[in-house]
């Protein structure tokens, strides 16, 4: 009897460990009235900068009502009037520090922030975002979750986003925490809207295209991201969508399609690809129920021929405009195929 109970418990543990939450989050949501719009857009969580305790409480309640999780700086709640209430907020994680590698925070200082957050909110996770995948100071093991932000458009190769996610994953593995979540932060802003380090230089920037946002998102996943954030779409006046309707449409197109793939991203088992790919093409296959879901990327700035087998009818294109013998530069396809063993 004890043996049977042990087996049942083991199976339960394995099934629980198998499923992994894949958050799709938007930075800069600072008003409760924007949360239903966030939900409609396919996001599952928000990162808010609001510091007012009353407003934070309203955001938290609206988020809870809409089944949206929160990511907030821990010091926005610690030692404030809302500290006790925050223990029951729908927290995804407390945000410890922003880019400690850029702002020269020591490991000791980050550890202190993590420790205090855990003392007050023992049931909540902590997250730390680094500004690049490989850092001089190894911050990789200082929080429950690691995040990496890298914003290449238009001045750096688009593939550098995925490259930095991969470097961050390698950093986690080298620190012995390769099993912890890693969230990639995708560019959803125009660099020209931010102060530049060299004011004497010409301002360079533009908002990423929908295709670029889509590519970076899937490139992050293929390089180890177990969640995606989009920075940033906050606005002082009006709704998020009314600030830049065209930009909003580009982001939401991607967030909604990722939301539809959440069961696969969270519960799909990564298996061997059913065809051979060679650079600059890269692919990842996940088995979910009776189907294989294949993410195929062209990590080149030029069109590339795809394997001929993909042009067959049993490879159904879920994401991507249309199947052609050539995949466009920085193209992203998601393909569904019935698993042959069934």
Q: What is the pLDDT, as a whole number, of residue 2?
A: 44
Residue 172: give the domain boundaries.
20-267
Looking at the structure, tell me whether residues 147 and 291 fall in a common domain.
Answer: no
Q: In the chain, how many domains are there?
A: 2
CB 44 within 8 A of CB 62: no
CATH number at residue 278: 2.60.40.1180
Domain presence at residue 3? no
Looking at the structure, tell me whether residues 237 and 221 fall in a common domain.
Answer: yes
Q: What is the pLDDT, as a whole number, of residue 272?
A: 96
d(C-alpha 121, C-alpha 220), whole Å: 30
Q: What is the pLDDT, as a whole number, of residue 199?
A: 65
Q: What is the pLDDT, as a whole number, of residue 3?
A: 45
CB 122 within 8 A of CB 106: no
Q: What is the pLDDT, as a whole number, of residue 18?
A: 34
CATH number at residue 130: 3.20.20.80
End-to-end, the C-alpha distance of the chain in Å comes to: 34
Domain presence at residue 294? yes
d(C-alpha 241, C-alpha 191), whole Å: 19
Low-confidence ranges of the chain (pLDDT < 50): 1-19, 342
Annotate 8-47 with three-state secondary structure. Answer: HHHHHHHHHHHCCCCCEEEECCCCHHHHHHHHHCCCCEEE
CB 124 within 8 A of CB 78: no
């Amino acid at each position: 009897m004890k043996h049977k109970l042990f087996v049942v418990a083991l199976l339960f543990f394995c099934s629980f460990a198998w499923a992994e939450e894949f958050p799709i989050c938007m930075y800069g949501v600072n008003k409760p009235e924007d949360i239903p719009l966030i939900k409609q857009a396919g996001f599952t969580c928000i990162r808010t900068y609001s510091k007012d305790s009353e407003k934070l409480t309203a955001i938290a309640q609206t988020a809870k009502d809409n089944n949206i999780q929160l990511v907030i700086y821990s010091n926005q709640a610690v030692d404030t009037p809302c500290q006790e209430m925050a223990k029951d907020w729908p927290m995804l994680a407390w945000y410890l520090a922003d880019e400690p590698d850029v702002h020269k925070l020591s490991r000791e200082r980050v550890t202190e922030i993590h420790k205090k957050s855990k003392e007050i909110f023992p049931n909540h996770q902590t997250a730390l975002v680094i500004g690049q995948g490989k850092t001089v100071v190894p911050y990789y093991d200082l929080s429950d979750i690691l995040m990496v932000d890298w914003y290449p458009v238009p001045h750096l190769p688009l593939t550098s986003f995925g490259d930095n996610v991969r470097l961050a994953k390698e950093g986690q593995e080298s620190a012995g925490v390769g099993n912890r979540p890693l969230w990639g932060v995708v560019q959803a802003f125009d660099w020209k809207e931010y102060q530049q380090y060299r004011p004497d230089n010409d301002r360079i920037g533009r908002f990423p295209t929908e295709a670029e946002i889509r590519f970076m998102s899937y490139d992050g996943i293929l390089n180890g991201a177990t969640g995606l954030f989009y920075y940033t779409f906050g606005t002082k006046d009006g709704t998020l969508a009314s600030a830049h309707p065209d930009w909003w449409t580009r982001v939401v197109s991607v967030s909604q399609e990722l939301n539809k793939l959440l069961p696969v991203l969270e519960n799909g088992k990564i298996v061997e690809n059913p065809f051979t790919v060679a650079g600059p093409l890269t692919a990842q296959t996940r088995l979910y129920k009776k189907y294989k879901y294949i993410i195929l990327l062209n990590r080149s700035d030029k069109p590339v021929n795809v394997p001929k087998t993909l042009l067959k009818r049993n490879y159904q294109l879920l994401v991507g405009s249309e199947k052609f013998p050539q995949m466009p530069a920085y193209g992203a396809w998601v393909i569904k195929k019935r698993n042959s063993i069934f």
